[in-house]
Amino acid sequence: MKNNAFTLGDNPTIEEFALVAAGALKVVFTPVVRGRVALARKELGILLKKNSTMYGINTGFGQLATERVSDENLRRLQVNLIRSHACGVGAPLTAEQARGLMFARANELARAHSGVRPLIVEKLAEFLNKGLVPYIPSKGSVGASGDLAPSAHMALCLIGEGRARIAGGSKLRDWAPSGKVLKALKIKPVELAEKEGLALINGTQAMQAVGGLALYDALKLYNAAVLTGAVSVEALKGTPAAFDERIHLLKPHRGQVEAASMLLELLKGSEIRASHKRDDKRVQDPYSLRCMPQVLGAVRDAVEYALNTVETEFASVTDNPLLVWHKGAKTQRRKNGLEVLSGGNFHGQALAFAFDFAAIAVTAMGNMSERRIAQLVSDFKILPPFLAKNPGLESGFMIAHVTAAALASENKILSHPASADSIPTSANKEDFVSMGMSAALKLGTIVENVAKITAIELLAAAQGVEFHRPLRSGARIEDALARLRRIAPGFRGDEEFSVRIETVAQAILDGYFLV
Distance CA 157, CA 306 (A): 31
Q: For 449-467, b where at least 16 C-beta lie within 10 A, e where not — what string?
A: bbbbbbbbbbbbbbbbbee
Nearest to 360 by CA among 294, 439, 435: 439
8 by Cβ neighbours in 10 Å (0-12 / 13-18 / 19+) ranks as buried
Q: CB of 36 within 8 A of CB of 7?
A: no
Helix (H) or strand (E) holding 498: helix 498-509
Verify cis geometry, omega within 30 degrees of 0, for the bond prior to 321.
yes
DSSP, residue by residue, 319-349? -SSEEEEPTT---TTSTT-EEEE---TT--H
DSSP 3-state assignment of 11? Answer: coil
d(CA 146, CA 320): 9
Residue 180 to residues 79, 127, 296, 328: CA-CA distances in angstroms?
A: 20, 14, 48, 49
* Alpha helices per DSSP H over 142-191: 148-158, 178-184
Residue whose C-alpha is closest to residue 232's, from 409, 41, 368, 75 = 368
Contact yes or no for 198/57 (Cβ under 8 A): yes
Angle at 257 between CA 361 and CA 242, to 5 degrees: 95
Number of helices (H), then strands (E), in the chain: 19, 9
Using CB atoms within 10 Å of the CB of residue 352, give its burial: 0 to 12 exposed, 13 to 18 middle, 19+ buried.
buried
CA-to-CA distance for 213 and 217, rounded, in angstroms? 6
Backbone φ, ψ for residue 277 (5° rounding): -95, 110
Report the half-sphere exposure of 93 (CA within 13 A, side-chain side). 39
70 φ, ψ (degrees, to nearest 5): -65, 155
Query: Which residue of the set 55, 287, 305, 512 is catalytic?
Result: 55
Which amino acid is located at 111 in the chain?
A: R
Please report, for residues 369, 370, 402, 456, the alpha-carbon distance to residue 449 in angstroms, rounded to integers and kept in the order given: 12, 11, 13, 11
Whether the Cβ atoms of residue 9 and residue 106 lie closer than 8 Å to each other: no
Q: Does 305 qualify as catalytic in the annotation?
A: no
Cα gap 95→204, rounded to integer Å: 18
- Residues classed as catalytic: 55
